[in-house]
Every structure is written in structure tokens, then in C-alpha cells.
Amino acid sequence: MSGNDPAADARLMGLALAVGARNLGLTWPNPSVGAVVADAAGRIAATGVTQVGGRPHAERVALEAAGAAVRGGTLYVTLEPCSHHGRTPPCVDAVLASGLARVVVALTDPDPRVSGRGARHLAERGVAVETGLLAEAAARDHRGHVKRVTRGLPAVTLKLARTRDGYAAAAGPRLMITGEEAQGRVHLMRMHADAVLVGAGTAAADDPLLTVRLPGLAGRSPVRVVLDSRLSLAPAARLVATAREVPTWIVAAEGAPVEPERALVAAGVEVMRVGADAAGRVDAGEALRLLAARGITRVFCEGGPRLANALAEADLVDEVALLTGPATLGLEGLSAVGPALARAIPERFRRIDARPAGPDLIETYERSA
């Protein structure tokens, strides 16, 4: 790497990725970028992460924190610095003004306003630029941003819990499948999403809050989104009752009645409408495109097997988190993995992680095709 230490470069880019991951879920519509400034001797001078709401960008935060130590040093950044004027001047201007000698970029920004231009702008003005270090990891962290700017859709992660014999639910009371440690991991996943998504059936059956309930992290709760074709969610539901505390959006079909919408809006819920599919249900693709247009980049779907299967059937899924508990149901129930998802996982996904959480197992699959 141009006479530099590859191991040190990889270590510092790994730190930039870890720093950037901290604010996942807080920066939409912008990506949560991480940045590390090393001085001319290779010592860490500062770190930075994109701030809440997307401004200021990570590069500016890190450069300001580093001060004079930045001159002649290296900036490690997980996404190509922006080169266009938005609400703030482009980050490449701040890089050039700082006196940095070198910039190492993990991932080229696919946003057509930036793509390759930021790196070229720096190189043309004498800054050494290297791109592609830990690009696979950066692409994973910035999956939502990439999908939104290239396809107009947010990245979708499905979370499904199943018994050891493969069921998500049985007739009768709600089935508690996983233990406290696994549930804590789910709250961490939820915390790093821009929006958590369920269908009207799950909202009615479970009456969930869908907030982050980890000590000190209640403020990290994402936007709560319900796909509710007919606006059937009851005003007494906890999602409605807490809508003024945590943003709550309902996406209904265009033909849904107006009267329940008035009651929901009066309670603080925001109601949006999209087209319906042949069965009269909210068109999932249209709903996700609407969320992307509103700035959502990362959706965490906890809507259960039916919604998960519908999203898989429409080829809208990017990641699957499958939690398996130690107990068996021992009778016929609702399969956690529906037929479309069961076909999709071996065809279009690869398992990238499998780890225990107490007595439970959490497997993570990401899209590979």
C-alpha cells in the first residue's frame, strides 16, 4: 500500500468501521460513516462518526477533533468522502484544507453525486488516495445506504424465532421461544435499525411496544412501522398509546376507510397509503419504496412468518437473523420459515455467522445473489 504498513492500515480501518457502527439507526437518511485520523507517525489522533440526523459527517468530526495533528497524516474512512454541496460544504474541501497527506477509503459511494468523484478530486490535488480496504465489511455496514441510492429501497433484515422443531407459534397464548440473552441481542439489532416493521396481525396478536428496552438505551428506539391494509389497529394498542413518545407510522392500502385514520392521527400516529396487491393487502414493495423516500435505509422486520415469507416472495430481503430455541413444540404449529423463504435461503443467501446466546442459537444469513 504505497509503502505503508498494510497491517496497521487494516487495524485502523477496522477501528473506523467499529466507530461507524455505533450510530447505525441514528443518522438516516445518511449512512453512519466512521473515520479515524492518524498523524504522520501513524498514531491515532482522533475518531469521528456521522452525527444524529446525518450531520456533521464523520470526516469533519474527526478532522476537527484531531486539530493540528492531522497535517501530513492519514484519514481512514468507511465511505468515500462527499464531493457535492448539500446542507454543508463537501467533505473533500475539509480534507484538502486540513493538510492530510493520504486518505484510505473502504467503499466507493454509489450515490451518483459522489461515486468516484470525491476520490478523484482529492487525487487531482495531490492527496494519495487508496480505495477498497475492508470493502466487504463496509458494504455490509452501508448496505442500507447502497440499496436506497441504487434501487430506491431500504435494506431489510428479517428476524425470526423458532422452536427446535421449526415452529414460531401454536394455537393459544403467545409462544416464548428464546431466553433473556437472545432477546437482548434482538434489542441490539433493533437499536441499529432506522425502522422496525410488523404487520397488523402481529400488532394485534402480540400488542408489542417494539422499543429498545436495554438499560440507558431507550432513546435508541427506531421508528415503528405497521403494514395495516384496512387500518384495523385498535386505538388501545400500545403502539398507538405510545405514538407521541416513539414515532409510529402505519402504511395502509389506498382504499382503507377514513374514519379509523382520523382516530389514529389524533393519537399521534402518522398514516400513509400505498397501492394494494391482488389480495387487497398493502403492496410490500410500494411500502418499502415509500419508507426509502422518507429517508429510511435499514428496516428490521419482526412481523412474523407470514410477513417474512411475503417479503421473501417479493425478493425484498437482504439479511435473515434466525433464532432457534432449545425446546420443541411437540405438535403442529405455524412454521417459522415459510415456503418462499425456505427456497430463498439456500438459493440466494449464505450463512455468515452462527453463535450461541445462552441456550439459544442465532444464525445470520446475508444475501449473496
The residues of the chain that CATH labels 3.40.140.10 are 6-142
Give the separation between CA 224 and CA 194, rounded to whole angstroms: 9
User: What is the arithmetic mean of pLDDT over 245-252?
Assistant: 98
Q: What is the mean pLDDT of residues 304-325?
A: 96
Given this model, what pLDDT does residue 295 score? 97
Strand partners, 364: 321, 353
Instruction: Order across the sheet with 44-49: list the strands.
Output: 44-49, 34-38, 74-79, 102-107, 128-131
Query: For position 172, what pLDDT does the model report?
Result: 62
pLDDT at 1: 38
How many alpha carbons fall within 13 Å on the CB side of residue 44? 13
Residue 331 pLDDT greater than 90, yes or no:
no
Nearby residues of 202 by Cβ (< 8 Å), 6 or more positions away: 208, 302, 303, 304, 307
**Alpha-carbon dihedral 27, 317, 200, 253, rounded to 10 degrees:** 90
pLDDT tens sequence across 146-194: 999 999 999 999 999 999 999 998 766 677 899 999 999 999 999 999 9
Question: What does the pLDDT look like over 212-226, one tens digit per residue?
Answer: 999 999 899 999 999
Catalytic-labelled residue, pool 59, 80, 302, 319? 59
By CB atoms closer than 10 A (0-12, 13-18, 19+), residue 81 is buried
Taking residue 262's Cβ as centre, other Cβ atoms within 10 Å add up to 12
* Cβ within 8 Å of residue 221, ≥6 positions away: 190, 191, 210, 211, 212, 246
Indicate whether 86 pLDDT > 90: no
Q: What is the mean pLDDT of the segment spanning 96-125?
A: 92
Q: What are 196's three cell numbers?
A: 422496525
Confidence category of residue 2, pLDDT binned at 50, 70, 90: very low
Provide the CATH number for the domain formed by 152-367 in this structure.
Answer: 3.40.430.10
Helices (H), the chain: 6-21, 58-66, 91-98, 117-124, 135-141, 143-151, 180-191, 200-206, 238-241, 259-266, 284-293, 305-313, 339-348
pLDDT tens digit string along 270-307?
999 999 998 899 999 999 999 999 999 999 999 989 99
CATH code 3.40.430.10 region(s) in the chain: 152-367
Average per-residue pLDDT for the chain: 94
Give the pLDDT mean for 95-103.
Answer: 94
- The mean pLDDT value for 26-46 works out to 97
pTM of the model: 0.94
Closest CA to 181 of 366, 355, 365, 364: 355
Q: Which amino acid is at 293?
A: A
The letter for the amino acid at 99 is G
**Mean pLDDT within 95-113:** 93
Handedness of CA 140, 146, 150, 151 (dihedral sign): positive
Let me know: does 227 contact 199? Beta carbons within 8 Å.
yes
> What number of residues does the chain have?
369
Half-sphere exposure of 54 (CA within 13 A, CB side): 13
Q: Based on the residue annotation, tell me whether 59 is a catalytic residue of this protein.
A: yes
**Side chain identity at residue 331, one-letter code:** L
Cβ 14 vs Cβ 36: under 8 Å: no
Percentage of residues in the chain having pLDDT higher than 70: 97
Read off the pLDDT of residues 332-342 as tens digits, 9 standing for 90 and up.
888 999 999 99
Q: What's the rounded Cα separation, in Å, for the pair 200 and 291?
A: 17
Largest CA distance in the chain: 69
Grid coordinates of 298: 435499514
Residue 224 cell numbers, joined: 415503528
Confidence of residue 20 (pLDDT cuts 50, 70, 90): very high
Local confidence band at 82 (pLDDT 50, 70, 90 cut-offs): confident
Q: What homologous superfamily does CATH list for 6-142?
A: Cytidine Deaminase, domain 2 (3.40.140.10)
